[in-house]
């Protein structure tokens, strides 16, 4: 599939991205963008509570109303007033974007689609009583619950508190103040108030956004070179090799885009000292230690503890996210509770684009269930990934997943694209332009 064909396919409905990019929308009489109306005549009735207004939960809440109509009451419980996109947040590190550029609001969801918003942090999920407990002491009852809270981060060995990520060694794997802190630390290197190399660590897969750390390595190394910052970028990868788009990233790391990255695969971090920014690690050649100018440890990630406490996954069994049926995203442990996005365990990548797709698959399955019907027996999802390599170029990767009745999993179908299920292209300025269109389309489909 050619890149432009793919972008067009995103705008055609189904589980694709339903809307065209904002720039392409017809203007309505008041100068705003035309939005699809919530139908009043579907005959579907029901009530759904959604925990978490990120890429998966917001999409799900919107499409429950858009496809289900006014008879489906939807309540979204979200702890933050606005959402800050992780996608594109690596560009904040290089100064090409600021955090406010990545902020999305829930106004359209509430005012146009009629989703009831509850601002609050969920601290307990009582699956027996079917109630959520909130930090302010209130509670919310549910008929059907969808859980979409994203991920939590482990402490790296040697760390004593998660607050050390906020003040000393930001992971910045959730966009927000840590992203700005990491940007400031890089600026300190450029200004000479810090010296040394930049060291980034990558956890063993699966983690959120498989190409994300390699993308960050490229744009930071490109930024260091363009700004003549002394010091190099060292990447300590716990994986035995680059786990995605290997040819593209290996070429970039070796100098193909004008910068180099000191990439050290098979590196297991044994201890970090946040105060001295020292990282100790082992690889096939033995034990090593580096004192970094800037240390960016990307920690191992798991579904929030809240879900484990509710029996949605079992850490004692080695699970780190919630098992679900990918026909409906209903928990295989707790009937009537669905889990979408990064907190669910599937064969699809933990990615915002996939979260959007899972939100739609789950919304469709819930609406069918409210009508006494079984879920779609053959769901299809797609994932597109544009990865900035430099300030002006990006690579592109796409995969389509289809339900396999044999395995019960989402698999890359062999028939897609004439037998080539995954399409990828190397860095180019054209990909970079298309990346901006893709991002705006995805975020408009989710929050617009
Ligand atoms: C640097 C970086 C780059 C990335 N680039 C891409 C990319 O190019 N393409 C791509 O597809 N993906 C990308 N991703 C991955 C993507 O951001 C995530 O996969 C996606 O955000 C997951 O969506 P989610 O809805 O599961 O979780 P989130 O988007 O994290 O949303 C979870 C929401 O739940 C809320 N919440 C959590 N707990 C509670 C609670 N107890 N009570 C109330 N609310 C709660 C949170 O406040 C949040 O709003 C990137 C990630 C990073 C870090």
> What is the per-residue DSSP string for 166-206?
HHTS----SSSHHHHHHHHHHHHHHHTSS-S-EEEEEPSSS
Residues in CB range of 167: below 8 A, 6 or more apart: 181
DSSP assignment of 270-326 equals EEEETTTTEEEEEETTEEEEEE-SEEEE---EES-HHHHHTTSS-GGGT--SEEB-T
Are the CB atoms for 181 and 188 separated by under 8 Å? Answer: no
**At what angle are helices 429-447 and 352-370 packed, to 10 degrees?**
30
Structural domain count of the chain: 2
Does 116 lie in the same domain as 8? Answer: yes
Does 368 lie in the same domain as 273? Answer: no
CATH of the domain at 173: 3.50.50.60
Does 294 lie in the same domain as 308? Answer: no
Rounded to two decimals, the pTM is: 0.93
Last residue of a domain, one of 257, 283, 300: 300
Last residue of a domain, one of 300, 321, 350: 300
Strand-pair category, 286-291 with 294-297: unpaired
In tens digits, what is the pLDDT along the chain, a chain of 448 residues?
A: 444 454 444 444 456 664 443 333 333 334 445 789 999 999 999 999 999 999 999 999 999 999 999 999 999 999 999 999 999 999 999 999 999 999 999 999 999 999 999 999 999 999 999 999 999 999 999 999 999 999 999 999 999 999 999 999 999 999 999 999 999 999 999 999 999 999 999 999 999 999 999 999 999 999 999 999 999 999 999 999 999 989 999 999 999 999 999 999 999 999 999 999 999 999 999 999 999 999 999 999 999 999 999 999 999 999 999 999 999 999 999 999 999 999 999 999 999 999 999 999 999 999 999 999 999 999 999 888 889 999 999 998 888 899 999 999 998 765 444 444 566 788 999 999 999 999 999 999 999 9
Does 224 lie in the same domain as 114? Answer: no
Does 309 lie in the same domain as 433? Answer: yes
* Residue of 62, 117, 118, 209 with the most ligand 1 atoms within 8 Å of its CB, for mutation: 209
Q: What distance in Å separates the CA atoms of residue 375 and residue 338, rounded to the nearest whole number?
A: 13
Does 109 lie in the same domain as 227? Answer: no
Does 195 lie in the same domain as 316? Answer: no
Residues in CB range of 378: below 8 A, 6 or more apart: 402, 403
Q: What distance in Å separates the CA atoms of residue 48 and residue 105, rounded to the nearest whole number?
A: 21
Buried b (16+ CB within 10 A) or exposed e, 152-161: bbeebebbee
> How wide is the angle at C-alpha 186 spanned by C-alphas 181 and 192, nearest 5°?
125
Does 94 lie in the same domain as 140? Answer: yes
Does 36 lie in the same domain as 12? Answer: yes
Does 242 lie in the same domain as 312? Answer: no
Query: Quick check: is 156 in a domain?
Result: no
Distance in Å, CA 355 to ligand 1 centroid: 8
Please report where in the chains the tokens 């600021």 appear, as a residue: 98
Cβ of residue 342 lying under 6 Å from some atom of ligand 1: yes
Query: Quick check: is 278 in a domain?
Result: yes
Query: Quick check: is 157 in a domain?
Result: no
Query: Quick check: is 60 in a domain?
Result: yes
Last residue of a domain, one of 279, 300, 321: 300
412-418: which pairs have CB atoms within 8 A and are 24 or more residues apart? 417/1
Q: Which domain holds residue 439?
A: 3-151+303-447
Nearest-CA residue for atom 26 of ligand 1 = 341
Give the CA count within 13 Å in the CB-facing half-sphere of 388: 25
Does 367 lie in the same domain as 283? Answer: no
Does 137 lie in the same domain as 42? Answer: yes
Cβ of residue 149 lying under 6 Å from some atom of ligand 1: yes
Query: Quick check: is 158 in a domain?
Result: no
Query: Quick check: is 413 in a domain?
Result: yes
Cα dihedral value 410, 414, 415, 419, nearest 10:
140
Query: Quick check: is 265 in a domain?
Result: yes
Strand-pair category, 198-202 with 322-323: unpaired
């Amino acid at each position: 599939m050619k890149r432009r064909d793919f972008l067009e396919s995103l705008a055609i409905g189904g589980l694709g991205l339903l809307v065209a990019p904002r720039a392409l929308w017809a203007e309505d009489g008041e100068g705003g963008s035309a939005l699809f109306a919530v139908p009043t005549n579907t005959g579907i009735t029901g009530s759904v509570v959604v925990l978490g207004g990120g890429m998966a939960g917001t999409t799900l809440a919107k499409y429950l109303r858009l496809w289900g109509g006014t008879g489906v009451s939807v309540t979204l419980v979200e702890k933050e007033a606005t959402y800050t996109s992780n996608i594109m947040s690596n560009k904040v590190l290089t100064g090409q974007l600021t955090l406010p550029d990545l902020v999305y609001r829930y106004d359209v969801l509430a005012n146009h689609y009629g989703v009831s918003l509850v601002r609050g942090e969920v601290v307990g999920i009582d699956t027996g009583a079917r109630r959520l407990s909130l930090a302010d002491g209130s509670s919310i009852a549910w008929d059907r619950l969808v859980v979409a809270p994203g991920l939590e981060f482990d402490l790296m060995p040697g760390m004593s508190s998660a607050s050390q990520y906020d003040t000393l060694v930001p992971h910045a794997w959730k966009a927000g103040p840590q992203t700005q802190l990491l940007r400031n630390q890089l600026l300190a290197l450029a200004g000479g108030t810090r010296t040394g190399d930049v060291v980034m660590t990558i956890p063993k897969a699966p983690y959120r956004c498989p190409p994300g750390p390699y993308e960050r390595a490229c744009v930071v190394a490109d930024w260091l070179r363009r700004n003549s910052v002394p010091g190099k970028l060292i990447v300590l990868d716990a994986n035995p090799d680059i786990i995605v788009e290997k040819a593209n990233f290996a070429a970039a790391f070796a100098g193909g885009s004008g910068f180099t990255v000191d990439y050290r695969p098979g590196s297991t971090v044994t201890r970090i000292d946040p105060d001295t920014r020292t990282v100790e690690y082992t690889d096939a050649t033995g034990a090593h230690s580096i004192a970094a100018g800037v240390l960016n440890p990307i920690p191992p990630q798991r579904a929030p503890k809240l879900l484990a406490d509710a029996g949605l996954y079992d850490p004692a069994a080695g699970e780190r996210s919630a098992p679900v049926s990918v026909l409906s995203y209903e928990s295989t442990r707790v009937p009537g509770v669905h889990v979408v996005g990064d907190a669910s365990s599937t064969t699809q990548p933990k990615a915002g684009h996939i979260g959007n797709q899972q939100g739609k698959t789950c919304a469709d399955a819930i609406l069918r269930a409210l009508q006494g019907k079984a879920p779609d027996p053959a769901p299809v999802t797609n994932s597109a990934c544009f990865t900035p390599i430099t300030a002006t170029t990006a690579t592109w990767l796409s995969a389509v997943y289809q339900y396999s009745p044999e395995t019960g999993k989402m698999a890359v179908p062999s028939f897609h694209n004439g037998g080539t299920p995954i399409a990828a292209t190397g860095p180019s300025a054209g990909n970079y332009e298309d990346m901006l269109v893709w991002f705006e389309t995805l975020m408009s489909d989710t929050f617009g």
